[in-house]
Amino acid sequence: MEFEQIHAKRVLTPVGWLENAIITIKNGKIVKIEQTNKVCSNNIKVLPALIDTHIHGVKGADTMDATHEALNTMSCFLAQHGIGAFLATTVTESHEKIEAALIQVKHSMKQGVAGATLLGSYLEGPFFDAAHRGAHPETLLHAPDRKLIEKWLDIAEGTLKCIALAPEYPEALEIITWLRSINVRVMLGHTNADYQTTKAALLAGANGVVHCYNGMSGLHHRNPGVVGAALTIDNCQTEIIIDGHHVHPAAVDIAYKCCGQNLILISDAMRATGMPSGDYYLGKLKVHVQDNVVRTKDGGLAGSALTIDCAVNNLANYANISFEQAWLHGSSYPAKALGIDHYLGNIAVEKQANLVLLNSNNQLVATIVNGNIVYQSSKDFTDILI
C-alpha distances out from residue 333 to 48, 173, 237, 263, 346, Å:
11, 26, 9, 8, 9
Residue 383 lies in a domain: no
Residue 217 has pLDDT above 90, yes or no: yes
Both 17 and 147 in one domain: the answer is: no
Residue 3: per-residue pLDDT: 60
Residue 346 per-residue DSSP state: S
Convert the pLDDT of each residue in 166-195 to its tens digit: 999 999 999 999 999 999 999 999 999 999
Convert the pLDDT of each residue in 95-144 to its tens digit: 999 999 999 999 999 999 999 999 999 999 999 999 988 888 899 999 99
d(Cα 45, Cα 118) in Å, to the nearest integer?
Answer: 25
- When pLDDT is averaged across residues 8-30 and rounded to a whole number, the result is 95
Both 176 and 287 in one domain: the answer is: yes
Convert the pLDDT of each residue in 139-165 to its tens digit: 999 999 999 999 999 999 999 999 999
SS3 15: coil
Both 15 and 149 in one domain: the answer is: no
Query: Smallest Cα–Cα separation from 244: which of 184, 187, 291, 195?
Result: 291
Asked which of 200-209, 220-229, 255-264, 271-280 is least confident by mean pLDDT, the reply is: 271-280
Residue 384 lies in a domain: no
Report the relative pairing of strands 364-369 and 372-376 from DSSP bridges: antiparallel
Asked which of 8-17, 80-89, 116-125, 126-135 is least confident by mean pLDDT, the reply is: 126-135
Computed on alpha carbons and rounded to an integer, the radius of gyration of the chain in Å comes to 20
- When pLDDT is averaged across residues 16-42 and rounded to a whole number, the result is 93
Asked which of 122-126, 202-206, 285-289, 343-347 is least confident by mean pLDDT, the reply is: 285-289
Residue 34 has pLDDT above 80, yes or no: yes
154, 268, 298, 309: which one is catalytic? Answer: 268
CB 156 within 8 A of CB 195: no
- When pLDDT is averaged across residues 3-26 and rounded to a whole number, the result is 93
- When pLDDT is averaged across residues 296-317 and rounded to a whole number, the result is 88
Residue 241 lies in a domain: yes
d(Cα 241, Cα 99) in Å, to the nearest integer?
Answer: 27
d(Cα 56, Cα 280) in Å, to the nearest integer?
Answer: 13
* CATH label of the domain that carries residue 9: 2.30.40.10
Convert the pLDDT of each residue in 361-384 to its tens digit: 999 999 999 999 999 987 655 557
Both 33 and 166 in one domain: the answer is: no
Residue 291 has pLDDT above 80, yes or no: no
Residue 226 has pLDDT above 80, yes or no: yes
Both 303 and 184 in one domain: the answer is: yes
Give burial (CB, 10 Å; 0-12/13-18/19+) of 27.
exposed
Residue 329 per-residue DSSP state: T
Residue 278 lies in a domain: yes
Mean of all residue pLDDT scores within the chain: 94
Residues paired with residue 149 on neighbouring β-strands, in sequence order = none
Confidence of residue 51 (pLDDT cuts 50, 70, 90): very high
Residue 269: per-residue pLDDT: 95
Both 227 and 269 in one domain: the answer is: yes
Identify whether 268 is a catalytic site residue. yes
Contacts of 129 (CB under 8 A, 6+ apart): 141, 166, 168, 169, 190, 191, 192, 193
d(Cα 73, Cα 76) in Å, to the nearest integer?
Answer: 5
Both 279 and 355 in one domain: the answer is: no
Both 249 and 311 in one domain: the answer is: yes
Residue 382 lies in a domain: no
Containing domain of residue 364, as a range?
5-47+345-376
Sign of the dihedral defined by the CA atoms of residues 316, 210, 357, 351, in that order: positive
SS3 54: strand
Both 188 and 73 in one domain: the answer is: yes
Both 118 and 159 in one domain: the answer is: yes
Residue 284 has pLDDT above 80, yes or no: no
* CATH label of the domain that carries residue 198: 3.20.20.140
Residue 150 lies in a domain: yes
C-alpha 209, offset from chain centre? 13
Both 23 and 69 in one domain: the answer is: no
Domains in the chain, number:
2
Residue 386 lies in a domain: no
Residue 212 lies in a domain: yes
CB 63 within 8 A of CB 384: no
Both 313 and 357 in one domain: the answer is: no
Residue 302 has pLDDT above 90, yes or no: no
